Amino acid sequence: MPGNINWPAVSDAPANPDSLHSPHRRLIELRMEHADLDGLIDRAGTQAGADELSLRRLKKRRLALRDEIARLEAALEPPELA
């Protein structure tokens, strides 16, 4: 399971989207990790005798990633003015 990594806040990241620490790149990385966890959870759910505690931890991490992705998307794409 991936370890906890402290990433820079959106406002601390450089404006260049190609930068290794840009919010856009971080968003891509989060989406990839979320997709990887989806696959792991799907495979673990079909295996007999899967470790329920590990499966719950994977699901909890996936939910945390989804929340982080939503926050980053909201920060990158502010709501339109009415």
Q: pLDDT tens, 40-62?
A: 999 988 887 778 899 999 999 99
Q: Please give the Cα distance from 53 to 56 (Å, whole number).
A: 5
First to last CA, the chain: 43
The contacts of residue 7 (CB under 8 Å, 6+ apart) are 21, 26
Crossing angle of helices 23-46 and 52-76, rounded to 10°: 160
pLDDT at site 1: 45
Q: Please give the Cα distance from 35 to 58 (Å, whole number).
A: 12
- Read off the tokens for 3: 């370890």
Low-confidence spans in the chain with pLDDT less than 70: 1-19, 82
